[in-house]
A and B are shown apart, each in its own frame.
Chain A
Amino acid sequence: MLIIITITILFVSALTLMLLRVFNPDFRYSWLITVAGVFLAWISIFFWQLKIPIFLTLPSWQPASLFANSPILLADKLSWAYAFSLGTLAIGVILTAVARENFPSHPAWAGTLALSAVGIIAVLAENSLTLVIAWSAIDLAELITLLASVRGEKLRERVVIAFSTRIIGSGFLLWAGIISITEGSSQNFLTAPQGAGIYMLIAAGLRLGILPMHMPFRTESALRRGYGTMLRLTAAASSLILLARIPQDSLQSPLIPYLLGLISLTALYSAWKWFQTKKTLDARPFWILGMASLAFAATLNGNPTGSVAWGVALVLGGGVLSLSSVQNKWLSRLLFLSLVAMSTMPLTLTATGWESKTLQWGGFSIILLPAHALLLAGYFRHIQAKDKSSFKSHNPFTSLAYPLGISFMLSSLLLLGFWGWEGASSIGVWLYSIIILLLFALIIWLHPRIRGYTPPQAHWLTATKIPQRKSFVYNTFWNFYYFLRNLSQQITKILENEGGILWALLFIILFASLLAEGIR
């Protein structure tokens, strides 16, 4: 019931906004209605704590003999953290909307509310069926938004590629479900068999852009800060929850150390790019990739709580930075608090990030720790960035609502360090946090002193340059595609030409004789 209340509030508020836009476009209190809706939803998420874990079985699919699984939602100590962070992000987006140049924007607010509702459904998914449905909703929303906002043939092509990658990721999760069923289990995450875990990892990796590392759509400037931030981070959170749901028993594969190596390199590279790139919105995909890699590594280390910690830090930390578009001394100082929350120090949100519950070789920490330090250093740089407007250009109302939005997010980041979920009030691996802080301090100190730290951007991963740098994998894939295409065209030509009927009859006679032999 509690889950339904939250989701209903968000959807009803979104619907109200759209109806107001159609029937009363001059209505002056739309923003207040939006704030009320999102705030009530946010408060209602707190009330989940009274009954956790909460199961919500949605109307089951019929006939029951065909559908062993139906959409089910589960709010437990892990998914609550994600749901809370998405609710907080929605509040942040709506409250800081007053500082955007497109204020008021009913469709963007309605989209934010609806997306947060779908995102919450995704993070609460109890089985793969529920999750893929929520993923598809988010993917379609993203596709429509991006196609409506980007211009140019090439960029649109990248949008389609991004959509394709995500759909393929969903396909892998469905396949994991199929594997579970063949091994006599259900599609429930808790009972996933050994064979399914690796497909779940691939699914999450593909959707997050980690496995193999890819950045299908890098330039995000076309998207507005508010709705664009919600879209990007909801998509990431909905994929990250899968990492927390994969049972450790199902991750017994000899491939795991190799995956960990690959992920460590991805983390390091994206952290480096995040540190280097000047504009926060341009750098955001690297932030997502870097933090998601750390979450992935935590999963491979048998630490789902750590994975959630990194995921929530990605959403809230990335969200608050992306939404900060107004220059203010005090707000900038407050933003440094998020660095504390993400530092893995005891009693912070990410304290559990470096715990490991497997006997995995810990050598990859040599790569992962600097990656984390670079991510923090990059964050520090982006807080100090000067490409922001100031309050002087906004009305007094903005100077009240905007800081409130930022403060909501920051206080949530700090709150999760000691309350509300499985990883709260943890001491963690404090030795690692000290190393990271030292590395962080070193990077920040070295940054202005070494020119090589800020070279012109290396663009090998940018969207526009990929066609010129065709890799071996890329060439092999396309050669195989062209081979299959030519083959299919030849067969089609034979069968559709004048002699096609004779060929078809010949085939049929062959089949018939084979069939008759088989029956005998």
Chain B
Amino acid sequence: MNAPLIWIGIPLILSVLLWLPRRANITALLGGSSALIFAMLAWFLPIDIAIRVNAIFSFKIVSSIEILGRQISITPADQPLVALLYSLTAIWFFGSSAAYIARRLVPIGMAMLALLIASLAVQPFLYAALIIQTAILIAVPLLSPPEVKPKRGVIRFLIYQTIAMPFILFSGWLLAGVESSPGDIELLTQAAVLLALGFAFLLAIFPLYTWIPLLMEEASPYAVGFILWLLPNITFLFALGFLDRYAWLREYPQLPNALRSAGLLMVLTGGIWSAFQRHLGRMMGYAAIVNTGFSLLSLSLLADHQLSTFFLLQIPQALGLIIWSLALSILKIHERSLEFKKVQGMLQRYPIILSGLLLAHLSAMGLPLLAGFPPIIALWEGLARQNLLAAFWVGLAVASLLTGALRTLAVLVMSPKDEGWTLNGSWVQNTLISIGIFFILLLGLFPQILYPLLANLPLTFEHLSG
């Protein structure tokens, strides 16, 4: 038995089998349960240590496997990360039946996750770019069903993500040269610029994020939410792999400034643009852009905080996206549109579902009491210690995001006709959102409950974990 087979091979096979159930809730249940099992295995099962079952029988899970001369390895240090990715995916899968997208999201999502974990585990790591590209191609049927003609958002998503690949591959080729002649500044600069461009496309840095709001209008919000959670996170982990591997890159004097500038650009443009949207889906898209900006800013604090802030952001952001996109999906299914003029006064008809939406939005901007607040305040303080002006810009971005949230609130409560309060949506939908609200509040008050989960995550990147 070996680790890549458990967390990459079996999920890939499972992703094919998950197409078989005809009922969506069975698919969601099977997918969610299996993802949860993979998460628990990653948490509890030791790698490279003999496990004694009884007096006669013992076995060992080997960390590596070789395929066509390439090595895929999942080490004990990677296990918390794999556990986190699978457990969050399990939540996405459990929620998918309530969003009526389980039959597409669960099999495709499982395959994507397995591939993306493979991209983090492959050696030489340059092959990761190709595996990520495969995962992106697999995502297309999730965003645009085969019977529907692909629209602008999907095409643009594919174009931008595909353009990233040659940049990464070129930079990898140059990096090999940098390793052999580290004093070559010209080569170093070229490698850094190409790498930055590659990641700019992958992470959808301004102005390369236009596919996000377009997709939010065209596709199922839940499916897009899943993509907006999974792809940027894996890309960040991939980027951290680069930083961990190359000392010259992580010690590059301009790196914190570049990350800070890119992060500020993302939070500011995302925040300001979200303030003026009249479509609930697009609003979430811009909030996801702000999330990426926050992650970039957290990496700009590597010297002070190492990876603590980055990992602290992950669970609240994921939880927020799950609840937000689920609420949007339910609303879109019932009301057909997410335009402001169509959803006016809907809070009285969907009190729980839309409360979830609003709280997820407020959590994304770091309202105290909600899950997003502790990591954002930690980030804000860290940034202020380095540069007060940067902290001011973050404050402005948060205020813009708040404007969007308040506009949404105003639209949702201003019913043209004074209707009574009713509870629409199925009990599963309302229950799932209620559970989500509970966790948003719980993590806002007690962020320390995440600490045992997050404490070992930075160990995956031994040179960055301080």
Contact present for A489 and B276 (CB under 8 Å): yes
- B17 CB–A CB distance under 8 Å: no
- A508 CB–B CB distance under 8 Å: yes
Q: Give the residues in chain B near A132, CB-CB below 8 Å.
A: 368
| Binary per-residue interface labels of chain A (54-77) against chain B in the complex, 1 for a CB within 8 Å, 0 otherwise | 000001111101111000000000
Cα A129 to Cα B395 in complex, Å, equals 16
- B35 CB–A CB distance under 8 Å: no
**In residues 235-285 of chain B, which contact A (Cβ within 8 Å)?**
254, 258, 272-273, 275-276
Contact present for B381 and A178 (CB under 8 Å): yes
Q: Nearest Cβ in chain A — how far from B443, in angstroms? A: 11
Total A-B residue contacts, Cβ distance less than 8 Å = 140
Q: Give the residues in chain A near B156, CB-CB below 8 Å.
A: 500-501
**In residues 103-149 of chain B, which contact A (Cβ within 8 Å)?**
none
Contact present for B367 and A68 (CB under 8 Å): no
- B196 CB–A CB distance under 8 Å: yes
Contact present for B406 and A181 (CB under 8 Å): no
**In residues 141-186 of chain A, which contact B (Cβ within 8 Å)?**
147-148, 151-153, 156-157, 159-160, 163-164, 167-168, 170-171, 174-175, 177-178, 181-182
Cα A33 to Cα B208 in complex, Å, equals 61
Q: Give the residues in chain B near A178, CB-CB below 8 Å.
A: 380-381, 384, 388, 391, 395
Contact present for B193 and A512 (CB under 8 Å): yes
- A1 CB–B CB distance under 8 Å: no
Contact present for B254 and A518 (CB under 8 Å): yes
Contact present for A157 and B410 (CB under 8 Å): yes
Contact present for A133 and B369 (CB under 8 Å): yes
Contact present for A153 and B414 (CB under 8 Å): yes
Contact present for A148 and B421 (CB under 8 Å): yes
B450's nearest neighbour on chain A, judged by CB, is: A62
- A387 CB–B CB distance under 8 Å: no
Contact present for A171 and B395 (CB under 8 Å): yes
Contact present for A157 and B384 (CB under 8 Å): no
Cα A135 to Cα B347 in complex, Å, equals 23
Contact present for A488 and B272 (CB under 8 Å): yes
| Binary per-residue interface labels of chain B (286-315) against chain A in the complex, 1 for a CB within 8 Å, 0 otherwise | 000000000000000000010011001000
B418's nearest neighbour on chain A, judged by CB, is: A151
Q: Give the residues in chain A near B448, CB-CB below 8 Å.
A: 59-62
Contact present for B276 and A488 (CB under 8 Å): yes
B: number of interface residues (CB 8 Å): 62
Contact present for B413 and A156 (CB under 8 Å): yes
Cα A518 to Cα B253 in complex, Å, equals 11
Query: Given A61-B447, A156-B413, A175-B395 in contact, is the A519-B367 Cβ separation under 8 Å?
Result: no
Cα A151 to Cα B80 in complex, Å, equals 50
Q: Give the residues in chain B near A67, CB-CB below 8 Å.
A: 374, 378, 447
Contact present for B415 and A153 (CB under 8 Å): yes
Cα A61 to Cα B312 in complex, Å, equals 12
Query: Given A171-B399, A516-B193 in contact, is the A135-B368 Cβ separation under 8 Å?
Result: yes
Contact present for B312 and A66 (CB under 8 Å): yes
Q: Give the residues in chain A near B275, CB-CB below 8 Å.
A: 484, 488
B394's nearest neighbour on chain A, judged by CB, is: A178
Cα A60 to Cα B447 in complex, Å, equals 9
Contact present for A507 and B207 (CB under 8 Å): yes
Cross-chain contact of A157 among B373, B414, B454 (Cβ < 8 A): B414
Contact present for A137 and B369 (CB under 8 Å): yes
Contact present for A136 and B367 (CB under 8 Å): yes
- A459 CB–B CB distance under 8 Å: no
Q: Give the residues in chain B near A129, CB-CB below 8 Å.
A: 368, 377
| Binary per-residue interface labels of chain B (382-409) against chain A in the complex, 1 for a CB within 8 Å, 0 otherwise | 1011001001000100110010001001
Cα A140 to Cα B362 in complex, Å, equals 11
Contact present for A182 and B388 (CB under 8 Å): yes
Contact present for A140 and B384 (CB under 8 Å): no
- A520 CB–B CB distance under 8 Å: yes
B159's nearest neighbour on chain A, judged by CB, is: A501
Query: Given A157-B414, A171-B395 in contact, is the A181-B254 Cβ separation under 8 Å?
Result: no
**In residues 262-312 of chain A, which contact B (Cβ within 8 Å)?**
none
Cα A62 to Cα B443 in complex, Å, equals 12
Q: Nearest Cβ in chain B — how far from A140, in angstroms? A: 7
Contact present for A508 and B197 (CB under 8 Å): yes
A516's nearest neighbour on chain B, judged by CB, is: B193
Q: Nearest Cβ in chain B — how far from A115, in angstroms? A: 15
- A249 CB–B CB distance under 8 Å: no
Residues of A bordering B, CB below 8 Å: 59-63, 65-68, 129, 132-133, 135-137, 140, 147-148, 151-153, 156-157, 159-160, 163-164, 167-168, 170-171, 174-175, 177-178, 181-182, 484-485, 488-489, 492, 495-496, 500-501, 503-504, 507-508, 511-512, 515-516, 518-520
B466's nearest neighbour on chain A, judged by CB, is: A65
Cα A234 to Cα B408 in complex, Å, equals 27
Cross-chain contact of B418 among A152, A492, A501 (Cβ < 8 A): A152
Contact present for A504 and B451 (CB under 8 Å): no
- B429 CB–A CB distance under 8 Å: no
Q: List 25 A-B contacts (CB under 8 A).
A: A59-B446, A63-B312, A65-B305, A66-B312, A129-B377, A133-B369, A135-B368, A147-B347, A153-B416, A156-B415, A160-B413, A168-B399, A174-B377, A178-B384, A182-B385, A488-B275, A495-B207, A495-B210, A496-B152, A504-B160, A512-B196, A512-B197, A519-B189, A519-B192, A519-B193
A173's nearest neighbour on chain B, judged by CB, is: B368
Q: Nearest Cβ in chain B — how far from A131, in angstroms? A: 9
Q: Give the residues in chain A near B368, CB-CB below 8 Å.
A: 129, 132-133, 135-136, 170, 174
Contact present for A167 and B381 (CB under 8 Å): no
Query: Given A181-B385, A485-B276, A500-B210 in contact, is the A65-B308 Cβ separation under 8 Å?
Result: yes
Cα A170 to Cα B258 in complex, Å, equals 31
Cα A153 to Cα B411 in complex, Å, equals 10
Cross-chain contact of B308 among A66, A140, A168, A516 (Cβ < 8 A): A66
Cα A174 to Cα B273 in complex, Å, equals 24
Q: Give the residues in chain B near A516, CB-CB below 8 Å.
A: 189, 193
Contact present for A515 and B193 (CB under 8 Å): yes
Cα A174 to Cα B381 in complex, Å, equals 10
By Cβ-Cβ distance, the 5 closest A-B pairs, closest first, are A62-B451, A62-B448, A136-B369, A66-B378, A136-B368
- B214 CB–A CB distance under 8 Å: yes
Cα A159 to Cα B347 in complex, Å, equals 14
Q: Give the residues in chain B near A63, CB-CB below 8 Å.
A: 308, 312, 451, 454-455
- B31 CB–A CB distance under 8 Å: no
Cross-chain contact of A519 among B254, B380, B402, B409 (Cβ < 8 A): B254
Contact present for A62 and B399 (CB under 8 Å): no
Contact present for A66 and B273 (CB under 8 Å): no
Cα A245 to Cα B310 in complex, Å, equals 34
B156's nearest neighbour on chain A, judged by CB, is: A501
Q: Nearest Cβ in chain B — how far from A386, in angstroms? A: 32
Cα A157 to Cα B156 in complex, Å, equals 38
**In residues 357-378 of chain B, which contact A (Cβ within 8 Å)?**
367-370, 373-374, 377-378
Q: Which of A60, A129, A132, A174 has the most CB of B within 10 A?
A: A174
B274's nearest neighbour on chain A, judged by CB, is: A488
Cα A159 to Cα B193 in complex, Å, equals 50
**In residues 127-181 of chain B, which contact A (Cβ within 8 Å)?**
152, 156, 159-160
